[in-house]
Amino acid sequence: MKHPLLFVCLAVLLVAYGCSRHAYYQTNKSYKKQAKEMAKTLRTEPFELSTQYGKPAYWVGATNFNMRKPNYVIIHHTAQNSCEQTLKTFTTPRTQVSAHYVICKDGKVHHMLNDYLRAWHGGAAKWGSVTDINSSSIGIEIDNNGFESFTEPQVNSLLQLLDTLKRKYTIPAANFIGHGDIAPVRKVDPNVTFPWAQLAQRGFGLWYEPTTDTLPAGFNTLHSLRIIGYDVKDSTAAINAFKRKFLGVEKTPPALTDEEKKILFSVMKKAM
């Protein structure tokens, strides 16, 4: 070989170049490409609608506008075995699922999607009158297999993230909810160990006030759940979702005791 030193240098450069490309180099390129295509759509002038009365002679673009902003935050557990597994799931096209944020057990937060873009995290869901949850929400996935407790670093990072999102997008306290709230028939996340009361103390979600008051005459459980936001088409699923979140129990008889109804009544009043 005439130039062994040159060969060695080239080999070192190639190795260094290859090492500089981390595992998600290609999926990040895909992200940028898709975002660029969407940006082209935003730059396109609105088309003039032609009716039987003709169409305007020229286009008039409004000058008062901004980006549509998210109005809900939906909290999930990943139901997978590691943060790395979830990152791969959300970067594999065939899975057709994603979220804006993933919080690992060590508290590190992966911001995977611009908040203004629509993640595929809610699926078939309903909250109040909103049926397209993905179009109006931010999805946060917390690394958790669905049965374990959430780590202190995860909760601390989540609180910091929620504070940022609430201030940035002026999201109402009542609009911080769980996947199990919006899809009670299909989902139970975040699981029964999730610290909803701690979040509510910081202004993220609703919680009840202890009371010794008697229930109003004719108190209706399903009507109250509907006011909070639950889809009561499957009444058992809706009641179980409420009990999982506010009572910390699951797979119990769907009937509510008077004390549990008082908790429901307290939450309902805050949601009104």
Average pLDDT over residues 228-239: 97
pLDDT tier at 7, thresholds 50, 70, 90: low
Domain boundary among 180, 207, 234: 207
The overall average pLDDT reported for the chain is 93
Q: Tell whether 10 is covered by a domain.
A: no
**What is the percent of the chain with per-residue pLDDT over 90, rounded to a whole number?**
81
pLDDT tier at 10, thresholds 50, 70, 90: low
If asked whether residues 192 and 95 sit together in one domain, one would say yes
pLDDT tier at 250, thresholds 50, 70, 90: confident
Place of tokens 């129990």: 249
- HSE of 78, CA atoms in CB hemisphere, 13 A: 26
In the predicted structure, residue 91 carries a pLDDT above the cut 90: yes
In the predicted structure, residue 3 carries a pLDDT above the cut 70: no
Question: Dihedral (C-alpha) 85, 88, 94, 97: value to the nearest 10 degrees?
Answer: 80
Q: Which residues are catalytic?
A: 141
If asked whether residues 188 and 95 sit together in one domain, one would say yes
Higher pLDDT, 31 or 46: 31
pLDDT tier at 211, thresholds 50, 70, 90: confident
pLDDT tier at 2, thresholds 50, 70, 90: low
CATH assignment of the domain containing 189: 3.40.80.10
pLDDT in tens, 136-145: 999 999 999 9
Nearest to 134 by CA among 124, 143, 148, 142: 124
Number of domains in the chain: 2
pLDDT in tens, 120-135: 999 999 999 999 999 9
If asked whether residues 191 and 255 sit together in one domain, one would say no
pLDDT in tens, 171-202: 999 999 999 999 999 999 999 999 999 999 99
Domain boundary among 173, 207, 241: 207
pLDDT of residue 16: 53
Residue 179 to residue 137: CA distance in whole angstroms: 11
The range of the structural domain enclosing residue 154 comes to 69-207
